[in-house]
Amino acid sequence: MKVVDLEDDALVLTAPYDHNGYPILLTPGSRVIIGYVHTAYFSFETSVREQIAGRTPLIIVEKPQPSQISKEQRRQSFRVPVTLRARVTTNHTDWFEVNLLDLSAGGFRAAMTHARLHIGDELAGELTLPLERGAATVSFEGEVTREGVAGDMVVLGVQFQQVHPSDEALIRYCMEHQRRFLRTKRDEFDAARLSKE
């Protein structure tokens, strides 16, 4: 969805599309939750006033008051499973790579074959995120907040303290990853349903 026009009491948006590329029909009065990224993840609930058919279908929704817009705190951000690698270092180690298991705007879980980091260790690192509009590299400082074992792997939880240039790329990556995941699940569901018919 994109903002097409901003009125005093309404937003004009492009209509959302389903996983097959068809516009989703939203009848007037439908309640919707709209989220967007701008330095953080923000969302608000609103009501659809009108749907406008056309080459690019549009919807008009009620414009929220500033108090109705909620900001997602980094630590509460949803985690997505990933297969990425990050380079990290501490004040007592050289640079080394860790395999990420999941990622959010607030931190990550990583696995390694032997413990090179422990709870309370402060670290710095960098991570390249494959975004839809091209890769973005973010630098971070963080702290190890969890330590455990899974099979023959050491699993660590790292909480970000600082992310450079900002956590917007992390939020965008998590949202894109979640959309791809949901699209795949819908496709699997549709395929299973069609095979039963």
Domain spanning 75-176, CATH class: mainly beta
Whether the per-residue pLDDT at 75 is higher than 60: the answer is: no
pLDDT on residue 100: 95
pLDDT on residue 143: 94
CB 133 within 8 A of CB 146: no
pTM summary value: 0.57
Which residues, 6 or more positions from 51, have their beta carbon under 8 angstroms from its beta carbon? 15, 25, 26, 27, 28, 57, 58, 59, 60
pLDDT on residue 76: 47
- The candidate with the shortest Cα–Cα distance to 39, out of 74, 4, 83, 1, is 74
**Higher pLDDT, residue 176 or 145:** 145
At 114 the three-state DSSP class reads coil
pLDDT on residue 72: 63
- List, for residues 42-66, the tens digit of each pLDDT value: 788 889 999 988 888 888 999 988 8
| Whole-number Å distance between alpha carbons of 109 and 130 | 18
DSSP per residue, 136-188: EEEEEEEEEEEEEEETTEEEEEEEEEEEES-THHHHHHHHHHHHHHHHHHHHH
| Whole-number Å distance between alpha carbons of 162 and 138 | 10
pLDDT on residue 77: 62
- List, for residues 125-173, the tens digit of each pLDDT value: 999 998 888 888 999 999 999 999 888 889 999 999 988 877 788 888 8
> Domain ranges in the chain?
3-71, 75-176
Bridge partners (DSSP) of residue 142 are 123, 160
